[in-house]
Amino acid sequence: MADRIEIKDLLLRAVIGINDDERRDRQDVLINVTLYADTRPAGESDDIADAVNYRTITKGIINLVEGSHFYLVEKMAAEIANLSLLDPGVERVQVSVEKPGALRFARSVGVTIERGRDDG
């Protein structure tokens, strides 16, 4: 499927990490999500009912991340993917989660995953 909806550079604050300060203090996380969906019905009808509601998905991601206490960016990415796949129009999703400044001398560190509705 070639159609993509991209949510770029969603900057949120979350408790994430394994160190004491990471468990206590919120940190920036940078999130990018690519939703793979067939956008032709919405493109033909110009009706929101035929579209993937990326605003609703983004609000869900914000609520999930800002209320989370994950230890690993891998877990955060997996939960964002699961949430995105709840929308019936989303067939696959790619999620990148980065922690800016987490490593000395590196601008950022992160993980990118891809999940599909049919994955086991």
The catalytic site residues sit at 99
- For tokens 């891809």, the residue is 114
Phi, psi at residue 76, to the nearest 5°? Answer: -60, -45
d(CA 67, CA 81): 16
Between β-strands 4-16 and 27-37, what pairing exists: parallel, antiparallel or unpaired? antiparallel
Inter-residue contact 40 to 52 (CB < 8 Å):
no
Inter-residue contact 8 to 32 (CB < 8 Å):
yes
Inter-residue contact 7 to 32 (CB < 8 Å):
yes
